[in-house]
Structures are given as C-alpha cells and as structure tokens.
A and B are shown apart, each in its own frame.
Chain A
Amino acid sequence: MTRVVVVGAGPAAHRFVECLHRRGHRDPVVMLGAERRPPYNRMLLASVLAGALPAEAVTLPDLPAGVEAYRSATVTSIDRATRTVHLDDGRRFRYDALVLATGARAVVPRVPGIRWRGGLSPQVRPLRTLDSCVALGPGPVCVLGGGVLGVEAALALRRAGHRVTLVHRHPYPVNRHLDAAAGTLLARHLADRGVDVRLEREAVRYDEGLLVLRDGETVAANTLLLCAGARPRVELARAAGLAVAGGIVVDDRLRTDDPHVYAIGDCARYGRESGGGVARAWAQAETLAALLTGGRRRYEPVPAVVRLRDPELSVVALDRPRPRAADGRAETVTFTDPAGRRHAALEVLAGRIVRGVLYGLPQATAAATQLFDRDLPLPADRLALLLGTPPRTGTGDLPDDAVVCFCNTVTRAGIVAAWRRGCRDRAALGEATRAGTGCGTCVAEVDRICERLGAEPARGPATETGRLLAVGSGVTP
C-alpha cells in the first residue's frame, strides 16, 4: 500500500490526485490545502477581481471519491525520518510518498509603506488568491507590475469602471514574454482603454493612498494591487533539509533529493526551468501520477504557451524550452503592421516554431499555436499562415500587363506575343522585344515565362496575339 500525502490544493495538486485516481490508484490519498476554499483556477483571478466572474465560477471540478481533502490545513513541518507531516493544529499524517505542491506566493516589493504592522497595509493587496479578490473599494487603483497578471487585472478593472494606473519597471509590459514590438502595441492598447500606463518607473514609497515613484511623480492609489510576480514557496522543504535553489530541486522523476518526497508545480525547479504556469504544473502532475502508478515516464519541459486573457486582445507568446536537436535551418519570420496593430515574430528551426510572439492575429495565432503544440512544421508560405490566406505556390503567371523588363518597358504580354510569333528563347525574345537587353536583371524571369509557355498546351495564336499587342509595350517592333 502506498499512502500519498499532497501538500497544497492548487491546480497542480488537483490535477495530480485526479490523474492518480484515473490511473487506478486506490490507496489512501490525503490533500492538505492551506486555504479555506476548495481548489480553484488561478488564471481567471483578474476577472473575479473585476467582478466579471463570480468566485464560484473558477472552482475546479470535484475531487475523485476517496481523496481525503482538508482545507485550512497548514503544514508546519516534515519529519523525513518518520515520514510524517505535522500541522499547526497538532494533527499529523504519515506518508509513503509526499508530494509538495505548495505553489508560489506573490512578491511583495520592498517599498516603504507597503508593509504595515507585520502584515500588509490594508490598502495593499497581492493578487494571488481568491481571497484577495473581494470587491475593491471606491477610488483609484494602482496595479504594480505589468506582467501578464497585472495587464489582465488593469484591463479588467478598467472595464469594470475603475480608474487604473499601471506601473511597470520595464520599457514595455509583459517584457518577460513579448518582444519590444508586441509590448509597445500592448502599451498602446492599455492607454487606449484608459489605463494610465507608467513605464520604466519604480515605486519608492506608499502612503495614504499615494504611490510615489522614483522620479517624484505620484500615483493616486486607494488600492495598491501587487502583481510583481511570484516566488516558489520553499520554506517547508528548506526546513526539512531538502535541496532548494530557486525552487525545490527535482529530477526528471520530479523527485527531490529524498526518494520519498516529490515536488510539482510552481514550487518545483527542474533544471533551469522554474515557474512557467499551469501547463507546466499539469504536465508535472500527470507525469508524477504515472510514475507513482508504475509508469516509466520521465518529465520533459513542456512548450510554454503564454496567453493574455482579455476579450479584446489576441496575444500569445510561445517558447519551446528544448527544441529538438536539429541540423535544419534556423530562420526568423516577422510580420509588422504598425497601423493595423498587428505583429508577429517567429523563430523557426527545421521548419518548426521554437519561439514566437503573435499580437493581433487571432487566426494565425490559432494555427501557429496548434503547430507549435504538436511540434509540426509550418507551411512553406509563412506569409499566408500569418495572414490567414490560402498558401501561394512558387509558380504562376504574372499578369499580362506586368512590366518584366524595366530598362525597355517590356510587359509580359509583349514577351508572350513575341513567343507566339516564334521567338522561343531568351536571345530571340531579346532581339524581338529588347527584353533582357538592358541591365540583364530580368533574364531569369524571361526564361521562366518561356519555360511556362513551352509547357502549356498549344492555343490559337491569332486572337490572343491581337489582344496582347494592344496592351503590349511601345517599343515592341
């Protein structure tokens, strides 16, 4: 019998116990959640905060039968020798396998005035838990930190009618995932929606509803919403003597340096990977569930798809942590449309997306994300992919009145007419039309036209020639 104890009740823990059950594990499973609420989906917090979604809407599905789930259960220590976890109320649970899914906590910037009497000032609120999403009071809101969460919160609050300022240290929002072009478009969108965006600014003090920035500017902030990132919760692991380095260190079996202790989700660190959101947490949860039920899987870093959740925006960042070793060509594909506020930049290796940013291109985003997820090659016509148009091929005819030879103003029609009169190669065509006899640049195109005409079935020349000459070049003899 394997008794599994899970510390944490977030998406990683939830997915883990679910998978464990699905894979036939019927031994005891204990899930210890510190919050008083049932497990919920953190990705939608910004909408809950703004009142666009009720709190119940983000609750995760019920746990499988047989899982002993406890709420408000705070684990205070792990006794690895006896394989026991201790709770603050004196309860204790023995384990055969301990899974740490303690998640991360919001970063509280070291800005005087934010902390108050050992906690946070009442007007300061980290956006991390459902508890932090109770309705905001009246007055202006300042969102500190312009990452994904901060931007989502600023837009959602603005939509709900709040006065919102977004303060961000970097030159453009979501700088961890976006490039400068997409970030700049995003900043413009925020400004258009009425968010007061302050970039490359740092807070130095908070007092009495006023956030003071380093350059002396002040921002009205009856509520200060902290969206300055999150740090893995590692205290429990560290106190238990487990290896910690920017997260609880795990191997590709998600095992810590204690063979009976595992870590998954935001609290875990595998290789150079840490944080990285819910897709990663889910992949780790599934892998670990498989391993604990006799599977031979190994954890592999998952391709990250970071989306901004906003009804008006289509923004996605793609990042494959370990692209397949490929001797294929590396290529950068970019699309920029400043006026239409669209942008895409893809890094492609051996035909597959390794990294990418797409802004304002919903159709291309859907197609590209799918190819990225499944590690499939892009179609040859990258532009068609980005524009959502049917792909073009490398062959086809120019329009009849297209000028082929610019030196001598010879159109395709002029060349076709001469060809139909019997000029079947570059030299003969050059003599008849002067095409290709100037700078010589167009001879490749003249050759291509010849080749295509030669390949097509014969046509009645008379009417064709008459029509073509009418639009042909003035210098055609």
Chain B
Amino acid sequence: MTRTLVLIGHGMVGKRLIEALRAGEHGNDWRVVALAEEARPAYDRTLLSSYLTGGDAERSALLTPSVPDDPAVRLMLGTPAVRVKPGRRVVHAAGGERVGYDALVFATGARPFVPPVPGHDRPGCFAYRTLDDAERVRRAARPGRPAVVVGGGVLGLEAAAALRALGMRVHLVERSDRLMAAQLDAAAARVLAAFVAGLGVRVHHATTVASVDGGPGGAVRGVTFAGGATLPAGLIVFAAGVRPRDELATAAGLTVAPRGGIAVDDRCRTADPHIWAIGDCAAVHGRCYGLVNPGYRMAEVVAAQLLGRGGKTFTGSDASVRLKVMGADVASFGDAHARTPGAVEFAQLDRAAGRYAKLVLAADGRTLLGGILAGDARAYPTLRAMLGRELTIMPPGLLAGAASGR
C-alpha cells in the first residue's frame, strides 16, 4: 500500500531526502508531497555568490534547477505549510489545501539572523540567504560606493566577495578577532584576512555595528560602530548567522531545543512517531549544524527509516567547510580546534606566500582528526577522506618544496 510522506520545505536537504527515498525504493511505497515556500525548486544555496558574480550559465542553472519528472512526487512551489495537526496527521498548506500524511518531515531550514540594532530594517539593508536576497542585493549594488557586510563567517565572506565583484568598496565587520572564527584558528584567519585585505575588502575586527543610520527618506546612509566611529555606506548585508525555523513545529506542540531547533534524536525523530526533522531546522540532541553536509546525512538517516531500514543513525560531526572566494582558498575539517583529549597539532606557515596548513592528530601522532588549510587548500579532499584514519599519505601541499609548484 502506498503511504504519503509530507515534506515541509524543499531546500537542498529536502531534495536529498526525496532522492534517497526514491533511489532506495523497490516499488512505489511512498507518495511524496513537498510544500515549498520559495517559488522555485531546491537550488544550491552555497552558490549564491556565483549567482551574483558568475555568467549567464551559472545564473540560469541556479534559477531553473532540474527536477526529475516523477509521478510519485508532487512538488507544490510557492505553497508554504501554515499549520500542522499531529493529532489528525494533516498539514494545512497556504491556499487552503489540507494534506494527510503517514510520515511528516520538517526540512524548513533556517532564516538569517539580523541583529536587532536600531535601523536594521531600513531600505538598503539586506539578508543573504535566498536567491531573491541575492537578486535584491544585485539591484541595490552601486559600483564605487561603500557597502558594509556584517559577519565575517563563510556567508559574510561570500557576500563580501560578491559585492566586491559588483564593484563596491566593501567593509566587513566581524565581532570576534578573526574571520571564520568557527572554522579557523588565529594563524589561518590571519592568512585569510591578509588575502581579503589585498583584494580591497576592509576588515573591521573585534567590533560590532551599533546602529544603521538613515538619511533623508529613511534609506541607509551609513553605520555607527560600537566604539562610536561612523562609516558611510548605502548598502548593508547582514550575514551574522542563521536561526532554525522551528515556529511551525512549536505551534504544532513539538519540543524545541533550548537554543532553538526542532528537538530530535540521532535518528532525527521527534517525540511524535510520525514526525521527523532534518537539516538546519533540526537540533540533534540539542545541536543545530547549519551546514549542508550534516543535513544530507540526516536526510539519508530518515530515508532509511521510511524504507524500513532503521539501523542508521546520525553521528555527524562532519563540520568540514571549504571556502573558495576571491581566489582565497581555505578549508577546515574534522576536529579543527584540537578539542579531542590528547590531540596534537602540527602546523606549517609560510607567511610570505600566505599559506598555512595545520593537521590535528590523535595522541598517537598517526590518526588524522582534523585540520585547517589556508591560502592553498588543494590537500583538502585527500585529507578529509583520511579523517579518522592513519595518515599514510602526506598530501603534496603539506610537503616542503612540493607546495611551491603551483
């Protein structure tokens, strides 16, 4: 008998769930109804900046993603879910349609966090999360004029790169003393900061924007820093992190983790046996990951359960990230900050060449636990594949002499 899966959200992770489910099915066990808020099917959000800076091909690939023609999947675009009734196992979609389910999966993702500073909602302030956001930023960009990006993480750097490519004079504001603080150590962040500065992006470390100031008509005129200094700017992009979208689940009476996110166990199950949550909206044992790869793993875990192969659990601490913007190449993988008890660190820094590599090894000095690469991350795919294993190969980038042959 065919059962119905209702998927709330059609982002990269939701899409992966459908793929994993369809790939693993033998017959048509499941009919899928996917309720998508955006008017277009899932696209690769990590390519937002190439939408702004790339050519027409990249743009159209993002704007018109291919969706397999599958009669078992009903994709309802521009139709967000508005209400979930777990007791009746039914979801109300915008527009009034009610869809009954045997299984319900939240893949609602996250929304950008905009710091509640005075003036954050003035015309000229943007978030940076969706294609629509990117399109708005593109239209507001004025070559030669100053812009401010709030947040020195991966997304902020991508936004800064995009604005730079659009010809703006970019100021990047990072509250901590280093860029990509979650992924990089101080040495790698210095390499990255020097590189970014060399491209004309002015980085303001260890400060915050206290207010967004308006001119006549209320539009953005500039920002005031926490220290009182001001900076003129006509465009502000907030890339200061994301918050899980758990409000629909909250309204449905599901438990939300203390720091946000729909509370699930390592099988991505909520307390309701018919409901799961995956991706950015899910808090696995209290933790939200905010990265696409852990989301993929969650999707696969849930697909396995829907297919009756329930053994798989989400153990994912894979917070590996590689950022390639403006020619800067940085990567962070595994236990990059050497938090494993007994972990040892080995690092090589070539200041003049702007290259840094760090390996984190277990106490035995052999097992690779993680690492950070900055300036040249070509070794990243090989190293990431060796995570948790004995480091039997020294990637050329980490061998002296070999690295200079770019």
Interface residues of A (CB under 8 A from B): 329-337, 339-340, 342, 348, 351, 378, 380-384, 386-387, 389, 391-399, 402-404, 406-407, 409, 412, 439, 441-445, 448, 474-475
Among B293, B344, B389, the residue within 8 A (CB) of A335 is B344
| Contact between B386 and A398, CB atoms less than 8 A apart | yes
A406 to B382: give the CA distance in the assembly, Å: 12
- Smallest CB separation, B384 vs chain A (Å): 7
Q: Apart from A392-B392, A398-B393, what are 11 other A-B pairs with CB-CB below 8 Å?
A: A329-B352, A332-B351, A337-B344, A381-B394, A381-B399, A383-B359, A383-B394, A406-B318, A441-B380, A444-B381, A445-B385
A334 to B351: give the CA distance in the assembly, Å: 14
Among A336, A392, A402, A445, the residue within 8 A (CB) of B394 is A392
A56 to B347: give the CA distance in the assembly, Å: 46
A301 to B184: give the CA distance in the assembly, Å: 40
Between A and B, 20 residue pairs with Cβ closer than 8 Å are A330-B351, A332-B348, A333-B347, A339-B342, A339-B343, A340-B342, A378-B400, A380-B394, A380-B401, A381-B394, A382-B348, A392-B393, A394-B393, A396-B392, A399-B389, A402-B385, A403-B385, A441-B380, A442-B384, A445-B385
In the complex, which range does the number of interface residues on chain B fall in?
Answer: 35 or more
* Contacts A334-B347, A394-B402 given; does A329 touch B353 at CB 8 Å: yes
Cβ-based interface call for B349 (8 A): yes
* Contacts A331-B400, A439-B46 given; does A398 touch B350 at CB 8 Å: no
| Contact between B392 and A331, CB atoms less than 8 A apart | no
Cβ-based interface call for B341 (8 A): yes
Among B293, B344, B348, the residue within 8 A (CB) of A333 is B348
Measured between beta carbons, the chain A residues less than 8 angstroms from B115 are none
Cβ-based interface call for B286 (8 A): no
A399 to B368: give the CA distance in the assembly, Å: 13
Measured between beta carbons, the chain A residues less than 8 angstroms from B351 are 330, 332
Measured between beta carbons, the chain B residues less than 8 angstroms from A403 are 385
Name the residue on A nearest B24 (C-beta). A474
Measured between beta carbons, the chain B residues less than 8 angstroms from A384 are 394
Measured between beta carbons, the chain B residues less than 8 angstroms from A383 are 346, 359, 394, 398
Measured between beta carbons, the chain B residues less than 8 angstroms from A351 are 400-401
Measured between beta carbons, the chain B residues less than 8 angstroms from A348 are 400
| Contact between A393 and B400, CB atoms less than 8 A apart | no
Cβ-based interface call for B276 (8 A): no
A112 to B402: give the CA distance in the assembly, Å: 60
Name the residue on A nearest B347 (C-beta). A334
- Smallest CB separation, B301 vs chain A (Å): 12
A465 to B399: give the CA distance in the assembly, Å: 33
* Contacts A329-B404, A331-B348, A332-B349 given; does A406 touch B384 at CB 8 Å: yes
Among B352, B365, B399, the residue within 8 A (CB) of A394 is B399
Name the residue on A nearest B341 (C-beta). A339
Measured between beta carbons, the chain A residues less than 8 angstroms from B24 are 474
Cβ-based interface call for B226 (8 A): no
| Contact between A386 and B393, CB atoms less than 8 A apart | no
A336 to B350: give the CA distance in the assembly, Å: 18
Measured between beta carbons, the chain A residues less than 8 angstroms from B389 are 399, 402
Measured between beta carbons, the chain B residues less than 8 angstroms from A395 are 393
Name the residue on A nearest B383 (C-beta). A445
Among A407, A443, A448, the residue within 8 A (CB) of B293 is A407
* Contacts A329-B353, A394-B394, A398-B386 given; does A382 touch B296 at CB 8 Å: no
Instruction: Name the 10 nearest CB pairs between A and B, nearest first.
Output: A445-B381, A392-B394, A394-B396, A337-B344, A396-B393, A332-B349, A380-B399, A402-B385, A339-B342, A442-B381
Cβ-based interface call for B345 (8 A): yes
Among B322, B392, B396, the residue within 8 A (CB) of A441 is B322
| Contact between A342 and B381, CB atoms less than 8 A apart | no
A335 to B358: give the CA distance in the assembly, Å: 9
Name the residue on A nearest B322 (C-beta). A441
* Contacts A404-B385, A409-B300, A412-B385 given; does A335 touch B346 at CB 8 Å: yes
| Contact between B400 and A342, CB atoms less than 8 A apart | no
Contact with A along B356-380 (1 / 0, CB 8 A): 0001000101100000000000101
A404 to B382: give the CA distance in the assembly, Å: 8
- Smallest CB separation, B114 vs chain A (Å): 27
| Contact between B359 and A380, CB atoms less than 8 A apart | no
Measured between beta carbons, the chain A residues less than 8 angstroms from B350 are 329-332
Measured between beta carbons, the chain A residues less than 8 angstroms from B23 are 475
Name the residue on B nearest A443 (C-beta). B381
- Smallest CB separation, A247 vs chain B (Å): 34
- Smallest CB separation, B17 vs chain A (Å): 13
A330 to B351: give the CA distance in the assembly, Å: 7
Measured between beta carbons, the chain A residues less than 8 angstroms from B359 are 383
Contact with A along B15-59 (1 / 0, CB 8 A): 000001001100000000000000000000010000000000000
A381 to B399: give the CA distance in the assembly, Å: 5
Measured between beta carbons, the chain A residues less than 8 angstroms from B343 are 339
Measured between beta carbons, the chain A residues less than 8 angstroms from B381 are 404, 441-445
Measured between beta carbons, the chain B residues less than 8 angstroms from A382 are 346, 348, 400
Measured between beta carbons, the chain A residues less than 8 angstroms from B348 are 331-334, 382
- Smallest CB separation, A447 vs chain B (Å): 10
Measured between beta carbons, the chain B residues less than 8 angstroms from A380 are 394, 399-402
- Smallest CB separation, A152 vs chain B (Å): 28
Cβ-based interface call for B119 (8 A): no
Measured between beta carbons, the chain B residues less than 8 angstroms from A387 are 365
Measured between beta carbons, the chain A residues less than 8 angstroms from B365 are 387, 389
- Smallest CB separation, A441 vs chain B (Å): 5
| Contact between A330 and B392, CB atoms less than 8 A apart | no
- Smallest CB separation, B168 vs chain A (Å): 27
Measured between beta carbons, the chain B residues less than 8 angstroms from A336 are 344-345
